[in-house]
A and B are shown apart, each in its own frame.
Chain A
Amino acid sequence: MTRAERVYRALLRAYPRSTREACGEDMVQLLVDRLRDADSSFAMARVWVEAIADIAMTAPREHVTRRWAVKVVEGPVLEGHRPLAPDVRVAAAPLLLVVIVALAQPGYYEPLFDDRMVLAGLPFGMAVLALAAILAMVGILAARRNDDLVDPWVQVVLLAGVLVSFPVMRMVEGFYTAVATAMAMTLFVLVTRFRALMLALAVPFAVWLLFGPPIVAALLNSVGE
């Protein structure tokens, strides 16, 4: 395999897996033919520019079409059209937990917003995000094997979008970090309906929401002493 083929095959990962399986080899063959017939360095560069522009234009369309096509062609019994309600329940569970705990015991999450956490070098918010990112990668790898509903690379982009939205939400006065994180998670899971990540994130996050505040309070007390 030539270097050009390897590079082009890597670029083809922008397409959904089903598209790559259906016509990936043909696309590689066509690029190889065009490069073979290019009679100058300039012509070869043009072939590459056109091929990359072509991917940029057609890959997003294929992702959208694939999502639609799965629902229409394969029918309601398959994963492409699985019921939304169970996904919503799992996705909203952490957010619901925050609301219930906050109502039952106001101030329970206050230790998480103590300035001494930052002064003591205990950026728990960032730790949670790092954990979420690691779990997300685990989920993405799992989804690659299971061929989840949305292509994993689209999920990576969506996850990045959610992580970027997190600090923006935190800038809103009085907006709790826990609520912002839970909302971001719920949003992400609902948009992607990423089953593997949903389960990978929801359980540890719920545990952190329940047991995080007393742990942080104990750590702050030890720092303060």
Chain B
Amino acid sequence: MALPRSAVQILIALGEGERHGYAIMRTVEAATAGSVKLGPGTLYTTLARLEAEGLIEESDTRPDAAIDDQRRRYWRLTTSGRAVAVEEVRRLAAIVERARPWALGEER
């Protein structure tokens, strides 16, 4: 399955646990040292698409009203979403592994 970069980033962010939209955005931003910033449109249209494809689902979790806005929707990976995320991570890891010797000067 060919996924856009934003979708892969979201799946990987959700692999660490369920999150609301803003937390996903911040996780992706931190993981990429600020090089990938998901705007509201990109984030939520991608979330809608991933949900339609059965890769993520809305969680029933609602935070305590005292610490967070209860209108926030939390998202988590489905079983197939986790499998796709793992497959993407493996694919990316294989690319990095192949490039290590010449790009980073590291021995295999």
Contact = CB atoms under 8 A, between A and B. Distances in A.
Given A22-B48, A23-B44, A29-B69, A51 B22 contact: no
B25 A30 contact: yes
B72 interface: yes
B69 A19 contact: no
Contacts of A34: 22
Given A29-B72, A51-B39, A23 B22 contact: no
Given A25-B71, A30-B25, A33-B22, A57 B47 contact: no
A58 B40 CA distance: 10
A110 interface: no
Contacts of A90: none
Contact of A26 (B21, B37, B39, B42): B21
B3 to A, nearest CB: 15
B52 to A, nearest CB: 9
Interface residues of A, number: 23
A50 B37 contact: yes
B39 A54 contact: yes
A62 B40 contact: no
B17 interface: no
Interface of A: 15, 19, 22-23, 25-31, 33-34, 50-51, 53-55, 57-59, 61-62
Interface of B: 21-22, 25, 37, 39-45, 47-48, 69, 71-73
Closest 7 CB pairs of A and B: A54-B39, A23-B44, A58-B41, A27-B40, A30-B40, A54-B41, A33-B22
